[in-house]
């Protein structure tokens, strides 16, 4: 059986998203809990795991830098699948807790639920921990008198015997996190059954490149190569090149439904204008329902 690394502990959004996929696959991989995102990616790069499943961007909080930076430096990793995961945050506590004095969670869910907390629990202390799953564990071990509640997934609450004080507490119902399934090159395509296939919303190619930043208009010239050939760019992201101050690398997500030959032609044109360029794979994109 194949093994896929995910961010732990049990009960994180990463685990919930992998379970969502696995229920729809004919031969699902075995989830393996890892301490952090870098550990997931390193294990895949070293061949200790067959694949990894890591967050790359949240619609409210932005990019996950460790994922982007590791993909940029690695010569072995490729993207095989993207999942747009609709985030559902619950406020959960031990049975018997009625007065909420403190709310804990990962920094991102706290930010995503800031308006709800301010409106419903304006006097509660708010504190961050390593993950939503860890928040659930802490809430489960607290006394009723402490009045401790966790913002976490329903699964994390279930695993720790918590009950829901309120559901769907995120401020934006369209809050989503993009996940990449990562594998070593060459990546073996995983079979997707019809049940997962109906959630497919498109296909992308991800390229990363460094351009001559000291040249005026260099980025504009690169973007024109896509626009001239009617290649739709769905996302652009920059990160420091880690060489010297002021030098950057760029991530481009490109739709695969460009006119015949134009997509490859545009990538070749950008390659000629870049210091270096690499492709992180062409992959299907899936999305869960709200």
Report the chain's mean pLDDT, rounded to a whole number.
Answer: 89
**Residues 15/17/18/22 CA torsion (nearest 10 deg):** 130
268: pLDDT strictly greater than 80: yes
Do 3-87+175-200 and 90-166 have matching folds?
A: yes
194: pLDDT strictly greater than 60: no
Task: Determine the pLDDT at residue 243.
Answer: 77
The rounded distance, in Å, linking the Cα atoms of 95 and 274 is 58
55: pLDDT strictly greater than 80: yes
According to DSSP, the β-strands at 163-166 and 176-184 are unpaired
Exposure letters 173-199 (e unless 16+ CB within 10 A, then b): eebbbbbbbbbbeebeebebeeebeeb
pLDDT digits (tens, 9 = 90+) for 81-116: 999 999 889 999 999 998 999 999 988 889 889 999
Percent of the chain scoring above 90 in pLDDT: 62
Task: Determine the pLDDT at residue 9.
Answer: 81
Percent of the chain scoring above 70 in pLDDT: 97
Task: Determine the pLDDT at residue 51.
Answer: 94
Confidence of residue 196 (pLDDT cuts 50, 70, 90): confident
Asked if the 90-166 domain carries CATH number 3.40.190.10, the reply is yes
pLDDT digits (tens, 9 = 90+) for 5-17: 998 888 888 998 9
Task: Determine the pLDDT at residue 148.
Answer: 96
19 contacts 47 by C-beta, under 8 angstroms: no
Task: Determine the pLDDT at residue 197.
Answer: 74
Domain extents in the chain: 3-87+175-200, 90-166, 204-281
- CATH assignment of 204-281, among 3.40.50.300, 1.10.1200.10, 3.40.50.1000, 3.30.70.260: 3.30.70.260
CATH number of 3-87+175-200: 3.40.190.10
pLDDT digits (tens, 9 = 90+) for 222-264: 999 999 999 999 999 998 887 777 788 999 999 998 877 899 9
């Amino acid at each position: 059986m194949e093994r896929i690394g995910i961010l732990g502990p049990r009960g994180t959004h990463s685990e919930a998203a992998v379970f969502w996929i696995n229920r729809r696959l004919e031969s699902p991989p075995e989830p393996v809990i890892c301490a952090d995102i870098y550990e997931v990616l390193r294990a895949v790069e070293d061949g200790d795991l067959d694949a990894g499943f890591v967050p790359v961007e949240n619609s409210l909080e932005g990019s996950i830098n460790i994922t982007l930076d590791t993909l940029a430096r690695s010569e072995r990793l490729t993207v095989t699948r993207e999942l747009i995961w609709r985030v559902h945050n619950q406020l959960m506590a031990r049975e018997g807790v009625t007065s909420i004095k403190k709310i804990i969670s990962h920094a991102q869910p706290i930010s995503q639920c800031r308006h709800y907390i301010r409106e419903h629990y304006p006097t509660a202390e708010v504190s961050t921990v390593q993950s939503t799953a860890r928040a659930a564990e802490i809430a489960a071990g607290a006394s009723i008198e402490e009045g401790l509640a966790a913002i976490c997934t329903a699964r994390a609450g279930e695993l720790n015997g918590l009950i829901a004080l309120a559901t769907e507490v995120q401020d934006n119902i369209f809050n989503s996190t993009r996940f990449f399934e990562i594998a070593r090159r060459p990546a073996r395509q995983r079979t997707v059954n019809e049940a997962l296939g109906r959630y497919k919303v498109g296909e992308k190619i991800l390229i990363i490149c460094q351009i001559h930043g000291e040249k005026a208009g260099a980025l504009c010239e690169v973007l024109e190569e896509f626009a001239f050939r009617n290649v739709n760019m769905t996302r652009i992201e920059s990160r420091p090149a880690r060489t010297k101050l002021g030098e950057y690398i760029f991530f481009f997500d490109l739709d695969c439904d460009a006119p015949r030959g134009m997509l490859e032609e545009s990538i070749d044109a950008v390659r000629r204008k870049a210091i270096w360029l690499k492709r992180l794979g062409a992959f299907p994109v899936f999305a869960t329902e709200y």
